[in-house]
């Protein structure tokens, strides 16, 4: 038996934020990241809408990119003190992911972070609060997913929390919020979204309910991402919907080793001055993983279907896979994203020598490979790599080598 789970309600389109006025409860706590939601007036609008619904409102602000275990525990302590009926998370993936983890700790104060990381092993939530997620970026789709990514900085590892219990009750996809994204964020979140859709379509957990969502998201992203990056407001609005469709697909079909590798390399070199931003990591790794997975005949055929939907041409699946890889690498060029870790600069832009020295990469490669194979996303990848194969694949994404194994 399989399961397909989405939020109970999804409000989308112009003025979708006004749905907050209809919520019932006594107290709501709003979780957000930096200053952009306040700067553009969205935070005040959210607070006012909740107050109009008759609720007392508290704030958890300043949730950092790649939120830490400590941030989760501190936020949960504030929730335990305030006792909200609604948790409303607004922003990109980071504040929403952090709020999901806080929610678990709020409902079950004895829960440890290690307990949270047991895949699909959480107890029933909603004993104290319901959860609303409001996305301001067009990529993570965490407003509709059963996932949260939290970073343990002591270990330099990002951990996915995966359980249908943390699927939000309400998602709000208001295109006005996406218009505030800086250009680089448009690029990274957009490539995160197409990676979600591609991995969901070839995942071993794909099904008739997820395939249409993944394929339509891919079509929309192909049409709109580069235009959105170049300032087209209509394309920016379309991308906000496309990333959400991709999220619906992967939340139920799961992901693959592009995400496993991105999770385990993102913070692995933080002591050398930077993170590998998640969306950029996916963009660099996706073409290599497609080449690796296409050695599996079922995956190769499904990549061929994706190429057909994108109208890329090709007389057989081998040609279609090659054209898909070429197209995705071209998107990286259009979005000013490098092709490999070696050329990934501290500001995420291409450069001749990135912030990760070769010697440091080689020293850490084995541990990263082991951790990537243990990641929750690996199990649904269509081809299961050995540690040796994962190390070779990591070499390909460090040096930009062809995958021939």
Tens digit of pLDDT for each residue in 12-59? Answer: 999 999 999 999 999 999 999 978 899 999 999 999 999 999 999 999
Which pLDDT value is given to residue 274?
83
Mean pLDDT on 171-192:
96
Task: In whole angstroms, give the CA distance from residue 153 to residue 151.
Answer: 6
Q: Are 355 and 273 in contact (CB under 8 A)?
A: yes
Which pLDDT value is given to residue 299?
98
179 C-beta neighbours (distance < 10 Å), count: 14
Q: Are 62 and 33 in contact (CB under 8 A)?
A: yes
Q: Are 144 and 9 in contact (CB under 8 A)?
A: no
Beta-bridged to residue 28, according to DSSP, are 57, 86
Which pLDDT value is given to residue 265?
95
Q: Are 106 and 28 in contact (CB under 8 A)?
A: no
Which pLDDT value is given to residue 193?
98
DSSP 210-226: THHHHHHHHHHHHHHHH
DSSP 20: G
Which pLDDT value is given to residue 157?
84
Please list, residue by residue across 94-120, b when 16 or more beta carbons sit within 10 angstroms of its beta carbon and e when fewer do.
bbbbbbbbbbbbbbbeebebeebbeee
Higher-confidence position of 118 and 314? 314
Which pLDDT value is given to residue 179?
94
* Side-chain-side CA neighbours of residue 382 (13 Å): 23
Quick one: how far is CA 252 from the chain centroid? 14
Which pLDDT value is given to residue 235?
98
Angstrom distances, CA of residue 27 to CA of 21, 49, 88, 277, 378: 13, 13, 11, 35, 39
pLDDT at 154 over 90: no
Quick one: how far is CA 223 from the chain centroid? 20
Percent of the chain predicted with pLDDT > 70: 100
Angstrom distances, CA of residue 313 to CA of 212, 224, 255, 321, 402: 21, 20, 26, 10, 22
pLDDT at 130 over 90: yes
Which pLDDT value is given to residue 347?
84
pLDDT at 253 over 90: yes
Which pLDDT value is given to residue 156?
83
Task: In whole angstroms, give the CA distance from residue 139 to residue 195.
Answer: 9
Give me the residue label for tokens 């958890």: 60
pLDDT in tens, 57-107: 999 999 998 899 999 999 999 999 999 999 999 999 999 999 999 999 999
pLDDT at 119 over 90: no
Of 202-211, 278-287, 322-331, 343-352, where does mean pLDDT reach its minimum? 343-352
Q: Are 188 and 337 in contact (CB under 8 A)?
A: yes
pLDDT in tens, 259-301: 999 999 988 998 988 889 999 999 999 999 999 999 999 999 9
Mean pLDDT, the chain, as a whole number? Answer: 96
């Amino acid at each position: 038996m399989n399961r397909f789970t989405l939020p109970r309600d999804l409000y989308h389109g112009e003025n979708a934020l006004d749905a907050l006025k209809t919520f019932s409860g006594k107290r709501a706590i709003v979780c957000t990241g930096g200053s952009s939601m306040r700067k553009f007036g969205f935070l005040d609008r959210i607070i006012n809408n909740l107050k109009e619904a008759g609720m007392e409102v508290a704030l958890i602000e300043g949730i950092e990119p790649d939120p830490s275990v400590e941030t989760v525990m501190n936020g949960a302590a504030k929730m335990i003190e305030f006792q909200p009926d609604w948790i409303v998370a607004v922003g990109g993936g980071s504040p929403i992911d952090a709020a999901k983890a806080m929610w678990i700790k709020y409902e079950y104060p004895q829960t440890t972070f290690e307990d949270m990381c047991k895949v699909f092993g959480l107890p029933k939530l909603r004993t104290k609060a319901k959860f609303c997620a409001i996305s301001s970026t067009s990529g993570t789709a965490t407003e509709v997913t059963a996932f949260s990514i939290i970073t343990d900085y002591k270990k330099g590892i990002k951990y996915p929390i995966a359980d249908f219990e943390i699927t939000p009750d309400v998602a709000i996809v208001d295109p006005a919020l996406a218009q505030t994204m800086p250009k680089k964020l448009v690029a990274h979140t957009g490539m995160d979204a197409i990676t979600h859709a591609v991995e969901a379509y070839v995942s071993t957990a794909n099904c008739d309910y997820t395939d249409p969502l993944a394929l339509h998201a891919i079509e929309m992203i192909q049409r709109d991402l580069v235009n959105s990056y170049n300032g087209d407001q209509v394309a920016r609005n379309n991308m906000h919907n496309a990333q959400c469709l991709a999220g619906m697909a992967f939340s139920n079909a799961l992901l693959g080793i592009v995400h496993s590798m991105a999770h385990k390399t993102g913070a692995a070199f933080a002591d050398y001055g930077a993170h590998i931003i998640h969306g950029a990591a996916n963009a660099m790794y996706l073409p290599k993983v497609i080449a690796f997975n296409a050695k599996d005949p079922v995956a190769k055929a499904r990549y061929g279907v994706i190429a057909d939907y994108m109208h890329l041409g090709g007389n057989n699946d081998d040609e279609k896979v090659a054209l898909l890889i070429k197209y995705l690498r071209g998107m990286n060029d259009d979005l000013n994203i490098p092709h490999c870790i070696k050329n990934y600069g501290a500001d995420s832009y291409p450069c001749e020598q990135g912030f990760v020295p070769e010697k440091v990469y080689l020293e850490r490669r084995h541990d990263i490979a082991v951790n990537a194979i243990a990641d929750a996303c690996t199990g649904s990848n269509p081809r299961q790599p050995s540690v040796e194969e994962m190390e070779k694949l990591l070499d390909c994404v460090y040096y930009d080598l062809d995958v021939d194994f």
